[in-house]
Amino acid sequence: RPPNAFILYRKNKQPDVVAQNKNLTNAEVSKVISKMWWKETEEIRFQWEKLADRMKLKHMQDHPDYVYQP
């Protein structure tokens, strides 16, 4: 399943947040990054959305028969 924009953003930001806050739990790191995400400009969030769209297209090309099954 291709990652959404926030998941890509989180993956990019997590190392810096963890390096600056070594004793945070994974849930706390997610909360910090979530606040960062909502403080980003629309332009920045749009860039992450475009990346997620490109990854979704690639996933569709690589796995044309894929059907999400929760």
Q: Per residue in 10-58, pLDDT tens?
A: 999 999 999 999 999 999 999 999 999 999 999 999 999 999 999 999 9
What's the pLDDT score for residue 50? Answer: 99
Q: Which domains does the chain have, with CATH numbers?
A: 5-62 (1.10.30)
Residue, of 69 and 53, whose pLDDT is higher? 53
What's the pLDDT score for residue 1? Answer: 92
Buried residues in 48-65 as b, exposed as e (16+ CB within 10 A): bbeebeebeeeeeeeeee
What's the pLDDT score for residue 31? Answer: 97
Q: Tell me which residue of 34, 55, 56 sits closest to 45, measured CA to CA.
A: 34
51 in Cβ contact with 2 (< 8 Å) = no
